[in-house]
Structure 1
């Protein structure tokens, strides 16, 4: 068990961000042992085939993500400094990692070991340039086709937790980060297999990073020279790769099938582009339907960086629940008959 002790200043400095580079690292764990990650099987099967067909030699990346109890070097995916990292900016940071930091990370007791890792340790400048190029190629093959969907899920999770904070405060926010994380009296307790003890955040706050590929675990950074970080699974990740959306026919008869499909599909926040991809409706058509649904009070919109995410309102939840009741066999009340004349 890892205990993270918060001060008032730590609470004030706790924030969220996304990290495409960390998703690369975490996805490598899944590809190395796909049988241990059945939730991601649709992705791992496709990504494995695409990587094999490309001929990309990604063994260095696989070596740097060792099997437990090995430790992933922090410099491989350092905590992002900004609120919304992108892969190019993270790779720029990776390329500029000081040589002594690379050697220190690869010299730790549980650091990965291989001939390829030894070459990186011996010539960090050249090795980091090659590693960054390798990661960029891996990303384009294995993750870029899925990133819009992944990003929508991750940003939707941040939006959900921002609502928790706004409505219920920091206690609810920090107490809702997963089954192995609990919050009690100023301390965040994280169920770790290999990291134990108590750490003070030292006024730096905690960086919260939702991550698709960590489920069902959490990963942390608590080393003194790095921003304290917790990578946790986002809500809704179980439905990421295999979406089976049922459109309630009773609701479709009232608002139209396209609008009913959009409401059913908004079980997690999504952008216009993502909804168009999911539903097959043109982006222009999605935009028109969302405008109408928003005017009717069934959809809200929230900006997240450069994107606008749409979410169902409570009124829409009530409509969907009522329509589900009809679909599951609830009988509609008999229609009144006209009185005899």
Structure 2
């Protein structure tokens, strides 16, 4: 059991962050150990052939992901509530070389001959993997993570630390000034005024990941609420009001993008010619409603956060 002891300052400094870099690294773990992640099978089945077509060499990243341990330097704690991937990769490139060597040794890996070149190579691998495997899905993932943070914030306001931590993850309990977290290696860690960083995660499921190593911001990465529904087929009819603004064909294409898809597949499902679908998708992309992601010979289209909000009827 890991025991995190809080002062009043620690409790006041407890905060949330979302980390695209962590999700990228944890997603590699899903692909590397598929038997442990049945919940993400649909995502993995869609992504594997795209990765194969892209020719990405994942080893610089995948070797840092073990069955129970992930190299901490590969995903440093986010320093702002919602950093973008570029900001987190800049922090990755600045990791101290002695920290890199220690983390690699803990995983049984040899030291990098040129540590800075290794960090740069790792950042490039993360970027390429993100582009193929995560970026097309990020609006959906981000919406779920944002929803979890909002839910937790409301719990904290309505019931304090007891309610905030009550259903964070199985086995996590709040007692007095202490948070008890299941962990194989027992330890007691005073937060010493640093507070606790809570990072909801899609690809952490079903595990809880803690970081309490000296020199790091203490954090917990926990499974976000609603992960079980994330990859469900949720194709919906476009709202009539949206169709009046965009036109039926463009609104229909948006509704069909419940998961990233290529032009040919969208054209077939929408009853359009390939050329017609391509023109509509270009217009939607220019309007900021879809994004395009090249994967090998194909371009995958995905809804943006604005489009997700429009289809959900949110302001």
When normalised by structure 2's length, the TM-score is 0.74
Q: 1:113 matched to which residue of 2?
A: 108
Hey, what's the Cα distance between the residues in 2 that align with 1:155 and 1:129? Answer: 30
Q: Is the 8 A contact 1:75 1:101 kept in 2?
A: yes
Q: 2:192 matched to which residue of 1?
A: 202
Q: Residues 175-222 of structure 1: CA distance to partner in whole angstroms, max 9, x if unpaired? A: 221223121222111112x33221111111000000001111100000
1:238 matched to 2:236? The reply is: no
Residues 276 and 7 (structure 1), Cα distance of their counterparts in 2 relative to 1, 3 Å cut: farther
Hey, what's the Cα distance between the residues in 2 that align with 1:47 and 1:307? Answer: 22
1:55 matched to 2:55? The reply is: yes
Counterpart selection for 1:227 from 217, 220, 224: 217
Alignment of 1:285-324 (within 5 A): none
Instruction: Please give the secondary structure, in 2, of the residue aligned with 1:24.
Output: helix
- How far did residue 169 of structure 1 move? 2.0
Hey, what's the Cα distance between the residues in 2 that align with 1:21 and 1:241? Answer: 20
Q: 1:101 matched to which residue of 2?
A: 99
Residues 307 and 210 (structure 1), Cα distance of their counterparts in 2 relative to 1, 3 Å cut: farther
Q: Is the 8 A contact 1:34 1:41 kept in 2?
A: yes
Instruction: Please give the secondary structure, in 2, of the residue aligned with 1:183.
Output: strand
Hey, what's the Cα distance between the residues in 2 that align with 1:154 and 1:167? Answer: 20
Q: Is the 8 A contact 2:64 2:104 kept in 1?
A: no
Q: Residues 240-264 of structure 1: CA distance to partner in whole angstroms, max 9, x if unpaired? A: 00145899xxxxxxxxx948xxxxx
Counterpart selection for 1:165 from 156, 174, 181: 156
Mark the runs of 5 or more structure 1 residues left unpaired by the alignment.
Answer: 248-256, 260-273, 285-305, 313-341
Hey, what's the Cα distance between the residues in 2 that align with 1:123 and 1:275? Answer: 48
Hey, what's the Cα distance between the residues in 2 that align with 1:178 and 1:243? Answer: 26
Residues 142 and 245 (structure 1), Cα distance of their counterparts in 2 relative to 1, 3 Å cut: closer
Instruction: Please give the secondary structure, in 1, of the residue aligned with 2:63.
Output: helix
Mark the runs of 5 or more structure 2 residues left unpaired by the alignment.
Answer: 241-253, 260-269, 271-280, 285-305
Q: Is the 8 A contact 2:23 2:201 kept in 1?
A: yes
Q: Residues 73-98 of structure 1: CA distance to partner in whole angstroms, max 9, x if unpaired? A: 21110111111111100101111112
- How large is the RMSD of aligned CA atoms in angstroms? 3.1
Hey, what's the Cα distance between the residues in 1 that align with 2:50 and 2:214? Answer: 39
When normalised by structure 1's length, the TM-score is 0.69
Q: 2:181 matched to which residue of 1?
A: 190
Which has the higher mean CA deviation after the structures are superposed, 131-140 or 194-203? 194-203
Aligned residues: 260
1:27 matched to 2:42? The reply is: no
Residues 228 and 23 (structure 1), Cα distance of their counterparts in 2 relative to 1, 3 Å cut: same
Hey, what's the Cα distance between the residues in 1 that align with 2:309 and 2:11? Answer: 26
Instruction: Please give the secondary structure, in 2, of the residue aligned with 1:122.
Output: coil
Hey, what's the Cα distance between the residues in 1 that align with 2:234 and 2:119? Answer: 42
Q: 1:289 matched to which residue of 2?
A: none
Q: Is the 8 A contact 1:180 1:217 kept in 2?
A: no
Q: 2:44 matched to which residue of 1?
A: 44
**Larger RCO (alpha carbons 8 Å, 6+ apart):** 2
Larger Rg: 1
